[in-house]
Amino acid sequence: MSPQDTALRPIVDAAANGTPVVAVRDLVVSYGANRALTGVDLEIAPGLVHGLIGMNGSGKSTLFKALMGLVKPTSGSVALFGADPRDARRHGRVAYAPQDEDVDDAFPVSVREVVAMGRYGRLGPLRRLRPEDREAVEAALERCELTDLADRQIGALSGGQRKRAFVARGLAQGAELLLLDEPFAGVDKRSEATITALLRSLAAEGRTILVSTHDLVAVPALCDELALINRRIVAQGTPDETLRPEPLGEAFGGFVPVEALRREVAA
């Protein structure tokens, strides 16, 4: 087995006992008087790429934050791997790349160091990277096609490269669940294809991905399942089941994004 194989071990049957990776029940999240999520029900099965689709302000980022335990539910519940999200975070089972990753351009940290942060939760008492940690970091960099950029400052990467660096950090961490809030925003078609292929290969080895995106044309190639959100989940299913006028109209407040239907017209 190559070092890469051992460093980034595939996830074997993450939820063999049938527990969904994500289970959200009747979740309400409010910011003061503004109810961002109202009665969200969502179950996510392992080993698939799940898309989260909705218009601006529909609650996508709020849902990601709720899954990470970063916003407090007004009511309802969130479970990751059948337990409190804090457990999954503590054990490094979930990684989150926020929509607006705050990176100061002058932040004196290399791409390799950012990826190595994924290992911090596992370090021994000396808090030093061991050979297996370094192996995992190099394997994650390679997997995300960042080896050549590993010594650059994180602030000196393009938006698309930076998104990949945060995926690599989650990979080095060994996360089984990756939560990616708009990894394609401001990313060109080539980087989008690179990220899509990467996410597909991660799912093929048993990891679970939840990814929000506004690129509805790219969704069928990326996602096995979609959840359409408009402060609650209005539809969940395969792209064929959900990219239809009625659920799209409900998700987008009566406005049906026609690009999502082009496939149907072409078929």
Ligand X SMILES: Nc1ncnc2c1ncn2[C@@H]1O[C@H](COP(=O)(O)OP(=O)(O)OP(=O)(O)O)[C@@H](O)[C@H]1O
Does 191 interact with Mg ion (rule: CB under 5 A)?
no
Binding segment for Mg ion among 97-105, 108-116, 216-224, 259-267 (CB under 5 A)?
A: 97-105
Q: Can you name the residues that pair with 53 across neighbouring β-strands?
A: 228
Using CB distances below 5 to 8 A depending on partner kind, what does residue 31 bind out of Mg ion, ligand X, none? ligand X
127-to-102, 122, 133, 165 alpha-carbon distances in Å: 25, 9, 11, 22
Least distance to ligand X, CB of residue 129, Å: 35
Footprint on this chain of ligand X (rule: CB under 6 A): 31, 34, 36, 54, 56-62, 99
Q: Does the footprint of Mg ion cover residue 61 (CB under 5 A)?
A: yes
CA 141 to chain centre: 17
Among 4, 38, 74, 99, binds Mg ion (CB under 5 A): 99
Q: Name the residue nearer to Mg ion (CB basis): 38 or 110.
A: 38
Looking at 32-135, which runs of residues are DSSP E strands? 34-44, 49-53, 75-80, 94-97
Which of 74/99 has CB closer to Mg ion? 99
Length of the chain in residues, anyone?
267
How many residues make contact with Mg ion (CB under 5 A)? 3
Q: How many CA atoms lie within 13 A of 144 on its CB side?
A: 25
58 interface partner picked from Mg ion, ligand X, none, CB below 5 to 8 A per type: ligand X
Question: Is residue 211 a contact partner of residue 50, using CB atoms and an 8 Å limit?
Answer: yes
Write the single-letter amino acid at 162: R
